[in-house]
Structure 1
């Protein structure tokens, strides 16, 4: 039986990397179905994503053989089964448009994720979670209970074996420790076209500045608020007649689309980190 895999890698750039990787796969009966690469000339780095099928080697054999092959190249690499859905925990507060959109897309197969937990500091969406038969965890957060709350959140992420955590309008700032634990595996949606209008109430900030474009940004979570590597962005055109409420309503649709695309890119292993930015093989 042929299995389909996704190989991602980054390493110092050098001549012959594409040839070496494709040769490794060909020698093991791998048939390349999709391939993309990028050379960051400024940093002298090479990035590559390859989707391939193979019916001669099992996952463990390929990993062991590639680890040996990789030694002279010093690659940061990962190999995944393409048919395995990414176990995902979603965190949300009181606005559920992004949560609802993600759940529908996951249920209908539009996203390759398996939502294993919904975590919220409010009770608003427990019925929505129940309608999808997903465990709902209500964990209130105050300044006094923040450390305990995050310990419980992390316990759920670990026990559910969640590979990805999505902050779908979760309106609490994560501690530096939590950000470090979730490094490279937590996506946040910010209701603004970063780097403009960081922090709270960006639509009011945008309205006060009379902007003609509002947007949304999906990025990886870091300890620096709203400054993590950006995965996806989009905008919507507005004019002077729009109220703060109008901007908020228009922005919600943009937020949902942007977050869904970011989760899709991540779950399909299309995002590679390049220091404080991302390489996205669309």
Structure 2
């Protein structure tokens, strides 16, 4: 699977076109697509991409992601939002979000001592491969400070002193609140409390190997080698109060053989984790991921 590239607006020569995204979900019924198209057309918008899915066309849950271009998006946005609320919100009873595609999501990355996922995200960010603005990196150890600062990203070390996680999370909240739209746990080896999940108020994405619930705890690749596994994989998911059981965004696997050492399995696993996490972050920040209970709809094709 290849990482979907961020959409880029094509500007017509005779006016200033800007790109927006409209994300909708709610109970399926007749006339939704027509109503959405009419509202956008009345605003002078041109639809350039549309993905939709229904869990059941007879009253199931409907999901749609629409990308459009419209002249002077910021100027027409208030009137467009009013029309969407009247037609999509009130008349059709759907939830909706209107997003300015030109504004990258503000992201904080949490890490511990393992660097492969963190540095991969920073490298892709610097190359413009991810539609994000990395605001800060937060770690419970100082080990990665010098590497992070080479990217020009603020690094904050917030150690957990004497096991006092509440104090550390209070400092995290002070740094984060009002400054980020997404938190990425790039191999951050700490359990996130339910209070923090509630108080931080933004989504969190986590990455881990796909052996779970097998090989829990330290040394999963050593345990995998001892069992003779033939597949190495990774899972990226949203963080919920249930440890490692949040809605899955992306997964991938690679085949391995009996000849692979524990070190080789670990390296192959790190490669998969990098790819899976970068895809999940990109898709979330392109508003391609819609949650449906403890599952997700991912418009990534």
Question: Do they fold alike, i.e. is TM over 0.5?
Answer: yes
1:192 Cα offset (Å):
2.1
Of the candidates 184, 190, 204, which is equivalent to residue 172 of structure 1?
190
Q: TM-score, normalised by structure 1?
A: 0.94
Unaligned runs of 5+ in 2: 1-15
1:199 Cα offset (Å):
5.2
Residue pair 1:192, 1:198 contacting (<8 A) in 2 also? no
2:163 match: secondary structure: coil
Partners of 2:116 and 2:278 in 1: CA distance: 11
2:114 match: secondary structure: coil
Q: 1:248–1:58: structure 2 CA closer, same or farther, 3 Å change rule?
A: same
Q: 1:75–1:215: structure 2 CA closer, same or farther, 3 Å change rule?
A: same
1:142 Cα offset (Å):
4.8
Unaligned runs of 5+ in 1: none
Query: What's the counterpart of residue 91 of structure 1?
Result: 110
Matched, 1:36 2:16: no
Q: 1:277–1:87: structure 2 CA closer, same or farther, 3 Å change rule?
A: same
User: How big is each residue's C-alpha offset from its partner over 1:83-140, in whole Å with a ceiling of 9 and x where there is no partner?
Assistant: 1111100000000111111001111110000000000001111112211111110001
2:108 match: secondary structure: strand
Matched, 1:54 2:73: no
Matched, 1:135 2:154: yes
Query: What's the counterpart of residue 141 of structure 2?
Result: 122
Residue pair 1:214, 1:238 contacting (<8 A) in 2 also? yes
What is the CA RMSD across the aligned residues, in angstroms?
Answer: 1.8
Residue pair 1:182, 1:221 contacting (<8 A) in 2 also? no
1:156 Cα offset (Å):
1.1
Q: 1:228–1:182: structure 2 CA closer, same or farther, 3 Å change rule?
A: farther
1:50 Cα offset (Å):
0.2
Matched, 1:8 2:23: yes
Partners of 2:50 and 2:214 in 1: CA distance: 34
Q: 1:118–1:267: structure 2 CA closer, same or farther, 3 Å change rule?
A: same
Partners of 1:277 and 1:198 in 2: CA distance: 23
Q: 1:55–1:168: structure 2 CA closer, same or farther, 3 Å change rule?
A: same
Aligned counterparts, 1:95-106, within 5 A: 95-106=114-125
- Count of equivalent residues: 281
1:72 Cα offset (Å):
2.2
1:264 Cα offset (Å):
0.6
